[in-house]
Amino acid sequence: MPIEVAPLDAALGARITGIDLSRPLSDTEFASVHAAWLDHQVLIFPDQNMDDEDQVRFSQLFGDLPDKAVHSKGTKSGQQLHKSVMLVTNIREDGEVIGSLPDGEMHFHTDGAYERDPYRYTMLYAMEVPREGGDTMFANMYRAYETLPEELKERLDGVEAEQGFYTGVDVSDEMKQALRIDGYDGKAVHPVFIRHEETGRTAIYVNRLLTRRIIGCSDDESRELLSRLFDHSEQSDMVYQHKWRPGDFVAWDNRCTNHARTDFSGGQRRLLRRTTVQGVKPEPALSAVGA
Ligand code: SIN
């Protein structure tokens, strides 16, 4: 059965069918998936039946995987996990959560921006999902840049921002507490506008969960600029909201998307398997000023 790529009726994303990710991909399948990813930023593969090794094999086609599930709290007890796999789950055993990013809402962010070399891709495979909530939302950060008022594009041209591990300017103490990992305090500085290393397109690279401040201006101005960027890029016409079903495999490009999670009840189990692909330090966008 040939691969079918059906763009979503949304700001970004495509549904990919006619492919079985529990098997190695042919060269043609790989080329189709890679092209669809560059075009649509978020890929949804419904009705997959994948184990750890299948997910790792698929992920490795797109680059090196981190050596371990960095910044992950624990693993699923009684089960040997691949070293590059992380569980995103609220399930607790003996009172201890068995994975990472357990509970409730998460603001928009892009994975690993608090590192010098953030993740290029993230992929989640859904095993157990809540009846309600716990959706993942994706924002199209190319579109966010392209529709930004010219005056903001000019003001922030060539400017950098500081990113920190779940310590963005808008993060409540409660959310910081829920997401923190003892002994880890990642911090990095990246351009506000980045150039996607493959497409060459410009994307906004700040987000509500991780961005602490714009470099080179007062705290007040930094807050005001960041609020404008966040509010603009989180508008509904920039966003696709994914309602999970077990067997969904969703893969996104962190260089041109932000993602967030809607709230869900702690009484409902949520278990997803995550892999990431290592990226490189984001390059600044080519200046649009005077172009
Ligand atoms: C993540 O931010 O990597 C997790 C998103 C989710 O749990 O929906």
The CATH number of whichever domain residue 92 belongs to comes to 3.60.130.10
Q: Is residue 52 part of a domain?
A: yes
- In the chain, the number of structural domains is 1
Largest pairwise CA distance in the chain? 61
Q: Is residue 290 part of a domain?
A: no
Burial of residue 217 (number of CB atoms within 10 Å: 0-12, 13-18, 19+): middle
CA 125 – CA 113 distance, rounded (Å):
22
CA of 289 to the centre of ligand 1 (A): 35
**What sections of 63-140 are H helices per DSSP?**
none
* Residue 135 CA, closest ligand 1 atom number: 8
For ligand 1, mutation pick of 123, 136, 165, 277 (most atoms within 8 Å of CB): 136
Q: Is residue 289 part of a domain?
A: no
CA of 101 to the centre of ligand 1 (A): 7
Exposure string over 42-73, b if 16+ CB within 10 A, otherwise e: bbbbeebebebebbbbbbeebeebbeebbbbb
Closest C-alpha to 246, from 272, 225, 267, 221: 272
Contact of 81 with 262, CB cutoff 8 Å: no
Give the pLDDT confidence score for residue 69 in this predicted structure. 53
CA of 218 to the centre of ligand 1 (A): 32
Q: Is residue 266 part of a domain?
A: yes
Q: Is residue 169 part of a domain?
A: yes
In order along its 291 residues, the chain shows pLDDT tens digits of: 789 999 999 999 999 999 999 999 999 999 999 999 999 999 999 999 999 999 999 999 999 998 755 445 445 544 557 778 999 998 888 888 888 888 888 999 999 999 999 999 999 999 999 999 999 999 999 999 999 999 999 999 999 999 999 888 888 888 787 777 777 778 999 999 999 999 999 999 999 999 999 999 999 999 999 999 999 999 999 999 999 999 999 999 999 999 999 999 888 999 999 999 999 999 999 876 655
Q: Is residue 291 part of a domain?
A: no
What is the reported pTM?
A: 0.94
Sequence-distant (≥ 6) Cβ neighbours of residue 87 within 8 angstroms: 72, 75, 76, 81, 98, 99, 100, 271, 272, 273, 274
CA of 43 to the centre of ligand 1 (A): 15
CA 261 – CA 107 distance, rounded (Å):
7
* Residue 134 CA, closest ligand 1 atom number: 8
Contact of 56 with 275, CB cutoff 8 Å: yes
Give the pLDDT confidence score for residue 78 in this predicted structure. 47
Query: What is the extent of the structural domain holding 201?
Result: 4-284
